[in-house]
Amino acid sequence: MAPKSLLKSWFPTTASPLICNAPMFGTATSDMATAVTKAGGLGIIGGGFDLAPNSAQLTALDADLAKAASALSIEPGRTLPVVVGFITFHSSFEHVLETVPPLLEKYRVAGVWLAFPQPGAHADVIKELKRKGEAWGLKVFVQVGTVEAAEEAATHGVDVIVVQGIDAGGHQWAQGASIVSLVPEVRDMLEQNFNGHNIALIAAGGIMDGRGLAAATALGAEGIVMGTKFISTTESPSPDVIKDRLISTSDGGVATIKSTIHDDLQGTGFWPPLYDGRAIIGEPYNEFKAGSSMDSLVERHKTAHASGNHSRRIIWCGTGVGLIKDVPSCQEVVRTTLRQYSEVIERVSNVQ
C-alpha cells in the first residue's frame, strides 16, 4: 500500500483523507477549484477536450488558471495547488505534449488529470508530462473504470489512480463495477504488481458525504473525488433550475441511467464506444424510448438550448443524487465531509 502520507507530501495544503471536486468541464471552474483548495481539499478545474493549438478551450483555461492563481494569492514561481483535468479521446490529443506543458509550467499547476482515452493513448504521455513538470513536482492523475485500465496507468508511471465506479455521474466506462469491489481489487493489484511504487489511489462514484468517504478509505482509497455533490454548491455555475432538480430527485439508482442516449440527445454522440454516461432520466430520454426520432429530439434540444430554456437539458449526475438536499458552499462540503468522516470512524471503531 502507498504510504499514508503520500498525498499529503505531494499536496501539502490538503487535509487527509484527500477530498477533490471532479474536473467537470463547464462546471468545475476556478471558482469551485479554489474554494475547494482553500477549504483543505484539492481543487480541480475541468479543462475540456480540445487540445489543438490556440483552441478556445485552452485559451479559456489559461484565463481561468490566472484567476485561480490570483484567488489563491500564488506568487510567480510558486506551485498552484490545483489540478487541471482533460478528456483525452479527442483527435486533438495528438497535440497534448505541445499545448499542455507550457500552460502547466506557466502556472506551475500541481497536477494534471487525464480521463477517457482511446485505448493505449496515454502510454508515453504520462511519463513525458511528468518529465516536463519535474521541476515543480507535477503529479499525473488518471481516472480509470477497470482493473485492467488501472494496471495500464500504473505501468505508464501514473502518480494518482482515480478509481471510478459505475455509480458515478457523467461519463465513465460503459461496463464496470461499483467502487465497493473495484477499489479493493485495484488496491490488491497495486500491492501485488507495483509494490514500492509511489502510486496513490482515490475513489470516485456515488460518494456524497463523510459516510462515503469513510467507506472509500475502508475499501483502500486514500481520498475521494465528488462530482455530483459539487454541482449543487454556491460556486457551481449550474443554473438554479438544475440545482433544484438535483434536490428534488431521489432514489438515484432508478432516477438516473447509464446510457449513450444522453449524448446522442444533446448532440455529443462522438464518444468512443468504450464509454457511456449517467444522467437523470428526463423527458427527452423517455420520449426517445416512446418512439420519437432522435433527429427531432436533437432539434428540440438545440431550440430549447438556444432560447435559454433548461427544461430539456441533460442533467449528468450519479446515483447519489438522492442525498443532495441543499446548496452549500464548497467550503461547507469539504469541512462537513471531513467532520462526518471522523464521526463515522469513531462510531464504527466503537461497535462491539
Ligand X SMILES: Cc1cc2nc3c(=O)[nH]c(=O)nc-3n(C[C@H](O)[C@H](O)[C@H](O)COP(=O)(O)O)c2cc1C
Q: How far is the CB of 206 from ligand X (least distance, A)?
A: 5
> Which strands make up the sheet holding 170-173, listed edge to edge?
170-173, 275-280, 256-259
DSSP assignment letter at 6: H
C-alpha cell at 125: 504521455
Of the CA atoms within 13 Å of residue 270, those in its CB half-sphere come to 8
By CB under 6 A, is residue 115 in contact with ligand X?
yes
Taking the least distance from each CB to ligand X, the nearer of 74 and 186 is 186
Q: Which of 205, 220, 223, 282 binds ligand X (CB under 6 A)?
A: 205
Which of 40, 89, 25, 106 has the alpha carbon at shortest distance from 334? Answer: 40
Of the CA atoms within 13 Å of residue 127, those in its CB half-sphere come to 8
Catalytic status, residue 171: yes
Q: How far is the CB of 290 from ligand X (least distance, A)?
A: 26
Which one of 171, 301, 305, 310 is the catalytic residue? 171
Give the distance, in angstroms, between the CA of residue 299 and the centroid of all CA atoms in the same chain.
29
Stretch that binds ligand X, among 5-13, 101-109, 125-133, 203-211 (CB under 6 A): 203-211
By CB under 6 A, is residue 232 in contact with ligand X?
no
Provide the H-helix boundaries in 220-316. 228-231, 240-248, 252-255, 261-265, 283-289, 294-306
Pairing of strands 256-259, 160-164: unpaired
The CA distance from 264 to 133, in Å, is 37
C-alpha cell at 23: 474536473
Taking the least distance from each CB to ligand X, the nearer of 7 and 74 is 7
Question: Please, which of residues 160-199 interact with ligand X by CB under 6 A?
Answer: 164, 167-171
By CB under 6 A, is residue 65 in contact with ligand X?
no
Please provide the DSSP assignment of 149-176 as one string. Answer: HHHHHHHTT-SEEEEE-TT-SEEEESS-
Q: Which of 10, 11, 25, 288 binds ligand X (CB under 6 A)?
A: 25
Q: Look up cell 474536473; give the residue.
A: 23
By CB under 6 A, is residue 43 in contact with ligand X?
no
By CB under 6 A, is residue 220 in contact with ligand X?
no
Site string for ligand X, 267-306 (x = CB under 6 A): ----------------------------------------
Q: How far is the CB of 263 from ligand X (least distance, A)?
A: 12
Q: Which of 19, 24, 138, 154 binds ligand X (CB under 6 A)?
A: 24
Active site residues: 171
| Footprint of ligand X (CB under 6 A) | 22-25, 27, 46, 85, 87, 115, 143, 164, 167-171, 204-207, 225-229, 231, 316-318, 320
